[in-house]
Amino acid sequence: MDNGYDGIMEYVTLYFTTGVRWVCMGLAILILLHQIFALLRMRNPSEIWAYLKCPDSSTVPLTHWENLMGRARGCDIILNLSGVSRSHGTLVRDSEGVWEYRDLNSKNGSFINGRRVTEPAILRAGDTLTVGGGDFQLYPLSARERIENIEKRKRHTKRTSPWLSMLAITIFQLLTVIQFHVALGDDYPGQLTAAFIILCATMWAYVIALRMLRRTGFEVELIAFFLSTLSLSLTASAYPYAVLKQAFCVLLGVMLFFAMCWFLRDLNKAKKLIPVFLGASVLLLILNLAIGTVAYGSQNWISLGGFTFQPSELIKIAFIFIGAASLNELQQRKNLAIFLGFSVFCLGCLAIMGDFGTAMIFFATYLVISFLRSGDFTKMFLVLGGAGLMGLMVLRFKPYIADRFSVWRHVWDDPTDAGFQQVQTMTSIASGGIPGLGAGEGNLSDVAAASTDLVFGMLAEEWGLVIAVLAVLCIITLGVFAYRSIIAGRSTYYSIAACAATSMFMFQTILNVFGSVDLLPLTGVTFPFVSSGGTSMIVSWGMLAFLKAADTRQNASLAVRVHEKDPDKGLKSVESVSAVDIYDPEDLYALLGEEYKKPPKKARKQEPRASEPVRSKPIAESAKPKPQPEPERTLFRRKKSEAAPAPAAKSTPAKPSSTSAPAQPSRTPATPGVRREEPQHPKAVRYTEVSDEDFFGKFDPPAPKKNAKAEEDGPLTLDDIFGNDGIFNDGKKGGKR
């Protein structure tokens, strides 16, 4: 009887592994391809932050926070005026909504309201910026345009529901735990179950928490969670009693990710902390040199109270923080010098530690960042040459590194010694085939550093070539995602940071994967998210925040601010909007006529003698009667602003009020269509989701005063219409001046 039961169990477990390999492969394909395609398929339409009215009365939409103006092709705003320098000036919006103009030592100078710009100057709505003899004016968007832009962006942003993938990941984790029971039998470490429960709970808690904050983009995080699951399983094979630690490190990583996302939302605040990071990094590296312990041939570990970590991993985050720069910083020598000095310091320390692999990663990231910053190939080549010399020196002084190079592409000549790890990796990969041998069933885990340096081999052996290759594709996808986010990027700071972080990921993966299969010399670096090792896991999650900060898809990212600070205010606007029903973009398009449908790019190309100013129509329409001004006003007003006729031209230029004017007629035709098709409430909720703090947010110092005034005075001001957005308050002041 007992024998019979055992026999059956033996049979079941035998076939369990056979089947689960394919099931897990299928789940992995489902999860990763779903998320990868979601990221690759996504389109991230530009956000429009303001319009620049040109001398020919055409307007250019500003689609980034940071805009370079000038005659050169690479400028964001190309000015075809004779007196304009190639790079004339920068027009930059900060996260509070204040626009600042800087002159880049242009030949003929720039003027704001006739005054020469020598120092960075705030450009307010209605101020006249004179560049190369032409007068430009900055206008904020009308609220209607904002809604329309948001609607447009929402339509173009395809949402991928996270739930199916999360369910699949959970099943995957469950099957992994059962498979470990089968594979390890009595040796099954109890903490393995706990570790997987922690990971699973972290994932669900994270996604649910973010859904409650109304974020909808989870592709990047789910990919990271899946890779973390693999990491946990590989750790379980190689170091069964370190699994719980690894799971806690995922949790810590997610917390760091969360914190950094929050932190990166406000660029001004984030940048203030750069000196702190700089100091802390330098201290940490010096500490590492002083009390670091040697492991695997390099002195890059610090042991504190029984807790060991790698400072050089943590520095990666600081490195990108310090390396990235906004458009204005790109023009400053000092900023570059700080970064250069910090890089040299880091590389020097790593060289002393003998951590060749990490030094390579820092160097590659340094090259990427400096290229992104300068775009200067000559400089790059100089640096490359210097580095080549340095590399030769390293080769000369470190015979063990030279050994690794000498065996490169010849590992089969010495399969038991110099080429041992690579040969073991390759045989294991071949052994695993497409679906792998099953978690815990591989034997590469007995080889030193299998779950870190040779993790690609272990992944392919236990989980199969398909999952191993998918893991690499995930990293590539993150890179492509970072690149594509630039198109709608707000600040170069975010874009440079995202590209640098993903380049670091990709370069690390190149060294790790290619090193282990003898396409490159083995350098011993980690595979982001997948390799065992706490610091590496935490840092990988931290770096992911840089990517998330560049994810400007509507409502996608925690690191991009979306929501309202004053819930009361948000609520009010919801009600107002649903009452007016002009948020359906189709109706707006129908009203606005043909010109409006023209893509913004056309408008961007400036022709001094353009016969058809793109946005001249609204001006012409400003004379139209306003039969029902009240609903229009309440639409964009805050709670306390009462309906009152708006003196259209009160102290502000005609333009903003005129652009808002066409919104009125839209009411009538729009109303029936929308009401018929959709209930109001869901729409209204959606509007809350898209309401942007930046649109309705405060520009702190002058705002309360203005608001209070508006309350008392009664008549509708532009404040009431657009919120006390920094631009507008200042715009009014400028107008009065």
Partner 1 sequence: MKKIEKRALLCLLFGLILLGGVCFFIYEDWNEGGAWAVYEGNRDVYADGDLAKGALYDTDGELLMRNTADGMIYNDDADVRAACMHITGDRDNNISTGANRVFLERMIGFDFINGIYSLNNDGEDVSLTLDGDICATAYRALSGRKGTVGVYNYKTGEIVCMVSSPTYDPEDPPSTIPEGAYINRFISAAFAPGSTFKLVTAAASIETQDDAYSYEVNCEGSIDYGHGDEVTDLSVHGTVSLKKALEVSCNCYFARLSEKVGSRTLKKYVKKAGLDRSYDIDGIETKAGTFDFPDGGVNLAWTGIGQWHDMVNPCGMMVYMGAIANGGTAVMPSIIKPSNIVSEKIDAATTALKTDDMIDEETAEALTSMMRNNVENHYGGNSAFPGLELCAKSGTAEVEGQDRPNAWFTGFLNDENNPYAFVVVVENSGYGSEVGGAVINTVLQDLVNQ
Binding mask 610-639 toward partner 1 (x if CB under 8 A, else -) reads ------------------------------
Residues 6+ apart with CB under 8 A from 2: none
For partner 1, the closer of residues 361 and 674 by Cβ is 361
Stretch touching partner 1 by CB under 8 A, among 65-73, 592-600, 609-617, 715-723? 65-73
Q: Give kind and range of the element (H or E) at residue 194.
A: helix 191-212
**What's the min distance (Å) between Cβ of 226 and partner 1?**
18
Apex 600 CA angle, 599 and 602, nearest 5? 80
CA neighbor of 95 nearest in space, from 397, 510, 490: 490
Question: Under the criterion CB under 8 A, does residue 288 sit at the interface with partner 1?
Answer: no
**What's the min distance (Å) between Cβ of 42 and partner 1?**
16
For partner 1, the closer of residues 152 and 373 by Cβ is 373
Question: Under the criterion CB under 8 A, does residue 430 sit at the interface with partner 1?
Answer: yes
Q: Tell me the sheet residues that pair with 569.
A: none
Question: Under the criterion CB under 8 A, does residue 475 sit at the interface with partner 1?
Answer: yes
Question: Under the criterion CB under 8 A, does residue 160 sit at the interface with partner 1?
Answer: no
For partner 1, the closer of residues 469 and 590 by Cβ is 469
Half-sphere exposure of 448 (CA within 13 A, CB side): 7
CA neighbor of 660 nearest in space, from 692, 618, 597: 618
C-alpha 528, offset from chain centre: 17
Q: Mind spelling out the 3-state secondary structure of 682-710? A: HHHHHHHHHCCHHHHCCCCCCHHHHHHHH
Which of 141, 423, 522, 635 binds partner 1 (CB under 8 A)? It is 423
Question: Under the criterion CB under 8 A, does residue 519 sit at the interface with partner 1?
Answer: yes
Question: Under the criterion CB under 8 A, does residue 544 sit at the interface with partner 1?
Answer: no
The CB density around residue 114, as the number of other CB atoms within 10 Å, is 7
For partner 1, the closer of residues 65 and 218 by Cβ is 65
Which of 487, 610, 619, 644 binds partner 1 (CB under 8 A)? It is 487
For partner 1, the closer of residues 415 and 613 by Cβ is 415
**What's the min distance (Å) between Cβ of 523 and partner 1?**
14
Question: Under the criterion CB under 8 A, does residue 345 sit at the interface with partner 1?
Answer: no
Please state whether 46 falls in left (phi above 0), alpha (psi between -120 and 50) or beta.
beta
Which of 202, 428, 659, 660 binds partner 1 (CB under 8 A)? It is 428
How far is residue 517's CA from residue 521's CA, in Å, rounded to a whole number?
A: 9
Q: Tell me the sheet residues that pair with 129.
A: 112, 136
For partner 1, the closer of residues 131 and 143 by Cβ is 131
**What's the min distance (Å) between Cβ of 425 and partner 1?**
9
Apex 431 CA angle, 427 and 434, nearest 5? 125
| CB 509 within 8 Å of CB 472 | yes
**What's the min distance (Å) between Cβ of 399 and partner 1?**
25
Which of 35, 58, 59, 67 binds partner 1 (CB under 8 A)? It is 67
Stretch touching partner 1 by CB under 8 A, among 156-164, 484-492, 626-634, 698-706? 484-492
Report the sign of the C-alpha dihedral through residues 23, 24, 30, 33, in that order: negative
For partner 1, the closer of residues 262 and 420 by Cβ is 420
Apex 714 CA angle, 709 and 718, nearest 5? 70
Which of 3, 118, 378, 416 binds partner 1 (CB under 8 A)? It is 416
Which of 38, 112, 264, 496 binds partner 1 (CB under 8 A)? It is 496
Cα dist from 293 to 25, 284, 310, whole Å: 40, 14, 10
Encode 539-562: b = buried (16+ Cβ within 10 Å), e = exposed. bbbbbbbbbbbbbbbbbbbbbbbb
Stretch touching partner 1 by CB under 8 A, among 163-171, 482-490, 662-670, 713-721? 482-490
| CB 546 within 8 Å of CB 557 | no
For partner 1, the closer of residues 489 and 585 by Cβ is 489
Question: Under the criterion CB under 8 A, does residue 270 sit at the interface with partner 1?
Answer: no
**What's the min distance (Å) between Cβ of 339 and partner 1?**
16
How many residues bind to partner 1 according to rule CB under 8 A? 67
Rounded to 5 degrees, φ, ψ at 154 are: -65, -40
Question: Under the criterion CB under 8 A, does residue 24 sit at the interface with partner 1?
Answer: no
Angle between helices 399-407 and 377-397 (to 10 degrees): 100
Binding site for partner 1 (CB under 8 A): 14-15, 18, 21, 64, 66-68, 74-76, 327, 368, 371-372, 375, 415-416, 423-424, 426-438, 442-444, 446-447, 461, 464-465, 469, 472-473, 475-476, 479-480, 482-483, 486-487, 489, 492, 495-496, 499, 502-503, 506-507, 509-510, 513-514, 517, 519
